[in-house]
Structure 1
Amino acid sequence: MEIRKLTSEDAKAYWDLRLEALQQDPEAFATTYKDAISRVDPLIRVARNLDSEVSATLGAFIDNELVGVMTIAEEGAPKLRHRVNLFAVYVTPRVRGKRIGMALLQAVIEHSKQLPDVEKINLTVVSTNDRAIKLYEKVGFKSFGLEHHAMKIDDTYVDEIYMSLAW
């Protein structure tokens, strides 16, 4: 397995995995598959995001295939620059259970620690995603809040847990 920061050259592989994520785990993402596929020139937007200086997407590859991703984004306001936000987390089901999520998360933490002024990572996770919650807790993330009805999918509400890891 190889873990590295994605660039604009990885836009197609990222976009394909993102669409899979939106179909496989729709409750975990605010964006819907329908919204995603209706975007104009999505690969241009993805490429621009992957080359951004204020965010980084790390990808896990097995045999040159992108199988997992995690994105961190820096805050712009001076009083918030001590933190980054983790989002767009996904590992394809066919390789789950092989510690890819753990390897990606450790790489994200190490990458974040190298950023100037950054002291912590914040994230939200769907309250029913026990595997993800356990993964985050295993590396030291602590929960600090729960948002009831954070998202609504058709007539069903989804709660999100807020978590943070500080160093």
Structure 2
Amino acid sequence: MEIRILHTEDASVYQDIRLEALKNHPEAFGSSYEEEVHFSIDVFNNRLMNKDNFTFGAFEKNQLVGVVTLIVEQKNKMKHRGNIVAMYVKPKYRGRGIAQKLMKETINQAIMLKEIEQIYLAVVSGNEGAINLYQLLGFEIYGIDKKALKVNGIYYDEELMVRFI
């Protein structure tokens, strides 16, 4: 298992796993498959080139099987904050600790940046596996965003979580 930051040469496999995640778990992401399926490879390339984002990939036998992104806030009053988004591990590879390894690398990256003092994330209410993992890694629920997402007429609440460094 290799965990590393994705680069532009990974754009195609990143696009594939991102679209898979959006298609199979629309309730877990703010973006939708219907929006991103029409994005060119350049959009995914630009995401990976953004110096304020760090997208980590988990590779098993050279296959990208999981991803997560750390977004560093850029506004002066918010530079002490980071946001973890877009966590996804392919179903076949779940239960092997990959999500935990991805999260640990992401947290370590935030710590290395020195400016970040707290990391935020949101997770769909009821996703107990993810919530338990995040709590194990030091995240605490500080609120609930009621009806945060609406997918096919169904509303989903999100648990808002924070980890102080």
TM-score tier, shorter chain, comes to: over 0.9
Q: 1:130 and 1:23 mapped to 2: Cα distance?
A: 21
Question: Counterpart of 2:108 in 1: which secondary structure?
Answer: helix
TM superposition shift of 1:129: 1.0
| Residue of structure 2 in register with 1:30 after alignment | 30
TM superposition shift of 1:54: 0.7
Q: 2:80 and 2:2 mapped to 1: Cα distance?
A: 28
| Residue of structure 2 in register with 1:132 after alignment | 130
Alignment length (residue pairs): 165
Which structure 2 residues correspond to residues 101-140 of structure 1 after superposition, within 5 A? Answer: 101-140=99-138
Deviations 1:30-77 (A, max 9, x none): 2121111123x2x10111110111111011000000000010111111
TM superposition shift of 1:153: 1.1
| Residue of structure 1 in register with 2:80 after alignment | 82
AA at the equivalent of 1:44: D
Which structure 2 residues correspond to residues 59-74 of structure 1 after superposition, within 5 A? Answer: 59-74=57-72
TM superposition shift of 1:116: 3.2
- CA RMSD for the aligned pairs? 0.8
Question: Counterpart of 1:15 in 2: which secondary structure?
Answer: helix
AA at the equivalent of 2:19: L
| Residue of structure 2 in register with 1:20 after alignment | 20
TM superposition shift of 1:105: 0.5
Percent identical residues: 40
| Residue of structure 1 in register with 2:48 after alignment | 50
Structure 1: gaps spanning 5 or more residues: none
| Residue of structure 1 in register with 2:92 after alignment | 94
Q: 1:148 and 1:110 mapped to 2: Cα distance?
A: 30
Q: 1:30 and 1:111 mapped to 2: Cα distance?
A: 23
| TM-score under structure 2 length normalisation | 0.97
